[in-house]
Amino acid sequence: MTKSRYGLKSILRLCLLTLLLLALFSQIILVYSDEKAPAQTSDWFVPKIIENPEIKELDKEGTGSLYQVGDLKLCVLKGSYYDMGVQQGRLLAKNIYHVFKTGYIKKALWDRGYTQDYAYAQSARMVKHIPERFLEEARGIIDGLKKAGINDITMEELLLGTTVAEILHFPPNSPPESGKGFSPDSPEVHAVSKTDLTSGPQCTNFSFWGKWTEDGRILHARNLDWSCQRDAQDDAVIFVYHPTDGIKPYMLMGWAGGLGSLTGMNAHQISVGQATLPNSNSTFDGRPCFITVRIMLEQDTLEKAVDVVLKGPESTGWNYTIADAKTNTARCIESDPIIKNVYGPDDPKENDETKHYGLPDMIRRTNHPVSKEGLVALAKRVGPLIKPPIHVETWEQFKLVLFLFTNHNTYQRYDWLGKQFQSQEGKGPITIQTAMEWLANGPVHNPETLHSCVFDPKNLIIYSSVAGNNPVVTASHRPYTKIDLKQWF
C-alpha cells in the first residue's frame, strides 16, 4: 500500500512538472509580435517584383542626395561621418521629427509606460560602446536638423533610435538584470498561463548557393518581423554610405534618425541579417545591434565580419546570418554576451541531439539557439516567470521536454524551411521568386513583417519590400522593388 502511494505521488509530480514545462516553453518564442500568426489557408501567395522602378531625385544636401525609387526612399550619404550626419539630418528632417516626436519612439516607448529617465539611462549604457565616428555622425544629424529648422531633438533623444531595439526586449522600466522577462512588444509574453505553442513568428533568415541555385551563386532571404502598429514603416529609408575613411560603400535598410540597422549589404558582396535570440545572459552594457551590423558591413571578408560579433561586446541575444558571394558560402552566429557559436552549411554541430539538422549549401535561422548551452540559457530566462517558478539549469533537464520545443513557431519555421529545400531536391533551381514565396507563406509568413528582402550579393542587387500602413500590409505581401546597388555604390 505504501509503495503504491509513493508511486502515485511520483506520477503526480511528473505530471505537474510536465504541465509547468509546457507553460514555460509556450512563452519562449513570443517575441516582437503583437498578434497571432493567421491560420494557414490553401492559398499560396505569390509576391510581385518591380523590375524597373522609377527613380526620382527629391533633394540634395552637400554631396548627399535623397531619391524616390519606386515607393521606397533611398538616401545616399557621402563624406566624413559628420558630413553624412548633416546630410541625413537635413534631407530626412521631417521623418526624423516624426520618429521621435509623434511616431515610433513615442508610440513604442512613452505611450507604453517606459519613462524617459529609464530609457535614457539604459540607452547611455549602450552608447558607451558606440565608436566615436558614429557619435560624430549623430552630432552631424543634430546640426542637419537645425539647418532644417528643427531645434528640439537632443543628442540623448536621437541616440534612442539606435538603442531602442534592445530596450524593447524587456518590459517598461525593467532592465535585463531585473529578471522580468523579455520583449513586451508582444502583449502576451508575460501571460505565463498561455499555452498556445504556435504563436508569434519573428525574424527569419536563410541563405543558399551551389546545388540549389541555377548558376551556383549565393542568395540570402530575410524577413524582419517587428510591430507594424507604431508607424515605423512610414520612416523607412534605404541608406547608402560612402565614407571617406577608406571603407567601401555599403547599404542599410533602416529608419530615419538611426545610426545603423539590422539588414544590409556592402560593396564587398557581403550581406547581413539578424533575428532576436532570447537568453539569460542579456545586458545593456554592450554594443547595440544596429551598430554591430553596420560594423560588420564595413568589413571586406566573411571572416572579419564574423570576428566583429565574436569580439563583441554584445548586449542582448541575436542570431546573425552572413552571406558572402566572394567565397560563395554563409555563416550563422548564435551570440549573446557569453555564448558565441559559429555555424556553417551542413554543420555537424546542428544535429539530432537537439532535433536540428543542417543541409549542404544552405543555412537557416529563426529565433532560437541550436546549441545545447543556448537552449538552456533560453529556458533559464523564462523559467522564473512561471507560477510556481521552475528552474532548468542543465541540458539533462532540458532534454525531458525537448519534444515540446518542436511544437513552437520558431522551430516550425526552421523545420519548414528545411523541408522546402529537401522537397526541391532534383526539381530545378531555387530562384529569387521562390525565396520570396517562402518568405510570404507557411509558418514563415507573419502579418507584421516590417521589411522583407532577397539579397543577390554577387550582382549587388537587393529585392526590397517595406510594410504598408493605413491599413497595415505585411512587407512580404507587398511588391519587392529591385534595386541594383552598383549604380549607387
The string of pLDDT tens digits covering residues 349-366 is 999 999 999 999 999 999
Is residue 419 in some structural domain? yes
Is residue 187 in some structural domain? no
| Peptide bond between residue 471 and the one before it cis (omega within 30 degrees of 0) | yes
The string of pLDDT tens digits covering residues 217-229 is 999 999 999 999 9
Q: Does residue 67 sit in helix, strand or coil?
A: strand
| Residues contacting 27, CB < 8 A, separation 6+ | 181, 189, 192, 194, 382, 385, 386
Is residue 429 in some structural domain? yes
The string of pLDDT tens digits covering residues 142-193 is 999 999 999 999 999 999 999 999 999 899 999 999 877 655 444 343 333 3
- The predicted pLDDT at position 256 comes to 99
* Reported confidence tier of residue 201, pLDDT bands at 50, 70, 90: low
Nearest residue to 205 (alpha-carbon basis) of 293, 275, 261: 275
Distance CA 353, CA 347 (A): 13
What is the pLDDT averaged over residues 265-291? 96
Task: List the CATH number of the domain containing 212.
Answer: 3.60.60.10
Distance CA 374, CA 334 (A): 8
Q: What is the DSSP string of 142-195?
A: HHHHHHTT-----HHHHHHHHHHHHHTTS-TT--GGG---S-TTSTTTT-TT--
Q: What is the DSSP string of 78-110?
A: EESHHHHHHHHHHHTHHHHHIIIIISHHHHHTG
Residue 38 has pLDDT above 60, yes or no: no
- Poorest-confidence range of 4-18, 131-145, 246-260? 4-18
- Whether 295 and 322 have beta carbons less than 8 Å apart is answered as no
Is residue 168 in some structural domain? no
- The predicted pLDDT at position 7 comes to 54
Residue 31 has pLDDT above 50, yes or no: no
Beta bridge mates, 270: 324
Say what angle helices 132-147 and 81-91 make with each other, to 10 degrees. Answer: 40
The string of pLDDT tens digits covering residues 95-132 is 999 999 999 999 999 999 999 999 999 999 999 999 99
* Reported confidence tier of residue 386, pLDDT bands at 50, 70, 90: low
Place of cell 512613452: 110
- The predicted pLDDT at position 30 comes to 40
Structural domain for 280, as ranges: 34-49+199-237+260-487
What does residue 125 show for φ and ψ, rounded to 5 degrees?
A: -65, -40
* pTM value > 0.75: yes
- Whether 25 and 381 have beta carbons less than 8 Å apart is answered as no
Distance CA 187, CA 185 (A): 6
* Domain count for the chain: 1
The string of pLDDT tens digits covering residues 252-272 is 999 999 999 999 999 999 999
Is residue 250 in some structural domain? no
- Poorest-confidence range of 37-51, 259-273, 295-309, 425-439? 37-51
Say what angle helices 409-424 and 432-440 make with each other, to 10 degrees. Answer: 150
- The predicted pLDDT at position 41 comes to 54
Is residue 367 in some structural domain? yes
Distance CA 45, CA 48 (A): 10
**What is the bridge-based pairing of β-strands 72-79 and 263-266?**
unpaired
- Which of the pair, 457 or 376, is modelled with greater confidence? 457
Is residue 459 in some structural domain? yes
Q: What is the DSSP string of 20-64?
A: HHHHHHTSTT--S-SSPPPPP-S------EESS--EEEEEEETTE
Is residue 106 in some structural domain? no
- Poorest-confidence range of 112-121, 193-202, 325-334? 193-202
User: In the sheet that 449-456 helps form, which strands lie side by side, from edge to edge?
Assistant: 49-50, 480-484, 461-466, 449-456, 219-225, 204-208, 362-365
| Angstrom distances, CA of residue 8 to CA of 16, 22, 305, 390, 476 | 12, 21, 56, 21, 52
- The predicted pLDDT at position 390 comes to 66
Alpha helices in 256-405 (DSSP H): 289-297, 302-311, 372-382, 395-399, 402-405
- The predicted pLDDT at position 130 comes to 99
